[in-house]
Amino acid sequence: MSKHPAWLDNAVFYEIYPQSFCDSNGDGIGDFQGIISRLDYIRDLGCNAIWMNPCFESPFGDAGYDVSDYCKAAPRYGTNDELVRLFDEVHRRGMHILLDLVPGHTSWAHPWFKASMRAEKNAYTDRYVWTDSIWEQPSGYGCLRGISDRDGSCVVNFFSHQPALNYGYLNPERPWQQSMDAQGPQETLSAMMDVMRFWLSRGCDGFRVDMAGSLVKNDADGRGTIALWQKVRAFLDEEFPDAAMISEWGEPDKSLQGGFHMDFLLHFGPSHYNDLFRCEEPYFSSRGKGDVTAFVEKYLENMRRSGQKGLICIPSGNHDMDRLARALHGDELKVAFAFLLTMPGAPFIYYGDEIGMRYVEGLTSVEGGYNRTGSRSPMQWDDTLHAGFSAAPAEKLYIPLDPAADRPTAAAQMEDEHSLRSEVQRLIALRQAHDALQSCGGIDFVHVGYPLMYTRSSSTETLLVIVNPAAQEKRVPSSMRLMECLYQFNGAAVQQGGVMHVPGQSVCVYRV
């Protein structure tokens, strides 16, 4: 685990899906200028860091995760100069911004891929993973075949239009499988480091790395991919020691060994993240029938295996998951946010989750969104035309707006001290006022179930967080000495005769 940049200690991230955030030029799609115009909103919420989804040139078959030029901003968002201006505006406000790096695959429209499809050998022949005959399909992976003069099938990393870049095989078994240190894989890695250098030297603060665990093939336990990222770590330590790196890997014990500073808990993989927010009986539902045990066990195991040092980040959601407000409602959302914002690691808030934006049901897929499209609808700013997102005619909006008459808006919630947004703002302020609640504060679970009780500690203080998502009061034996109450929502727990009485749907934070 490498030492992380100091600003991650108290980072609270806001994820921007640029298509849907704010459209400044009336073409129906969000853009850099739009984002710049809303930076104060993000800062006022209390977030001090941004992760922006891919914003590079792309045919947009997967919302930009199908890059056709890594070093050029997609014209629909603006120019490279405008992107650099966005970095500057973010920094001027004391904030940081991560770009989304997609190292595992490109679009099939990328010039590298077009060159690699040619029958004659050229500089890009080994840039992607190709078999040496059209009749041989790579086992364990999907592939593209019959689209080139080149005789071979090309491994795909995700959708069929996303050919896999070649970082080699851990243990090559077929003649066409290259080892990680063969020339082709080495050149791919060095090209990706050039991309990182390109944006870091222009002022971006680091990367969220897409499918970071997918690079080396036939690498079930991640050994090869970890070794590859260690090389990237050495490069960053040398040239950009302040760059922050967060992986979409979902296995912190591996990613942090690879030199990432942070990893996400995700809706797939072994973390049990879904048990909390997105299953039939989510833990945060007021029905109080969920189960948080497996999540806590896995979380502690991850902490142990990553040496307690790495930042395990729990997002409110992201562009791939159902909106938090699909399964949770009303106060359930406030209680869930209280948990998210009092856990270690840097929290990530998906745009609009802070106002409880809903999953828009029944939408036709847009740009490879499929069922994810409902979580990507335009940000609801206010009650003006198209919720203040865009001045374009309705049919030009990137994705239709939530049609509900009572859809939440940022403007209304900013006026209302009882709104979800106001609660989120208070919780972020609480976090920022106490080291113990921030990324690196310690955590010990005191009671796992309803309520969930955990202490957070720094060198100067220990705080007890008590979260009861269930509608009913809960009682648990406890002998903790409660001192000052620093935060309460729906009443504070009280201790009487060795029993903690925790009101229904409440959260409180005590100094102990």
What are the residues binding ligand NOJ (CB under 6 A)? Answer: 62, 65, 102, 158, 210-211, 248, 319-320
What are the tokens at 140? Answer: 């364990």
Residue 63 Cβ, how far from ligand NOJ at the closest point, in Å?
6
In the complex, least distance from residue 248 CB atom to ligand NOJ, rounded to whole angstroms: 6
User: Smallest distance from the beta carbon of 152 to ligand NOJ, in angstroms?
Assistant: 23
Residue with smaller CB distance to ligand NOJ, 21 or 489: 21
Classify strands 49-52 and 13-16 as parallel, antiparallel or unpaired.
Answer: parallel
Helix (H) or strand (E) holding 229: helix 223-239
State the nearest-atom distance from the C-beta of 61 to ligand NOJ, in Å: 10
Q: Which residue's structure tokens are 């891919």?
A: 54
Question: Roughly what angle, to the nearest 10 degrees, separates helices 420-433 and 331-340?
Answer: 20
Alpha helices in 5-148 (DSSP H): 32-37, 39-45, 80-92, 111-116
Judged by CB, which is closer to ligand NOJ: 18, or 408? 18
Tokens of 333: 């959302």
DSSP secondary structure string for all residues of 445-457: EEE-SSSEEEEEE
**DSSP helix/strand/coil, 489:** strand
Distance (Å, whole) CA 488 – CA 509: 7
Query: How far apart are the C-alpha atoms of 133 and 151, rounded to whole Å?
Result: 5
Run of H or E residues at 305: helix 293-305
Residue 485 and residue 492: Cα distance in Å, rounded?
A: 8
Complex with ligand NOJ: residue 208 or 474, whichever CB lies closer: 208
Q: Nearest residue to ligand NOJ, using CB?
A: 65
Alpha helices (H) in 166-215, listed in sequence order: 183-200
Closest contact distance (angstroms) between CB of 490 and ligand NOJ is 34
Q: Show the tokens assigned to 345.
A: 């690691």
Q: How far is the CB of 290 from ligand NOJ (least distance, A)?
A: 26
**Least distance between ligand NOJ and beta carbon 117 (Å):** 21
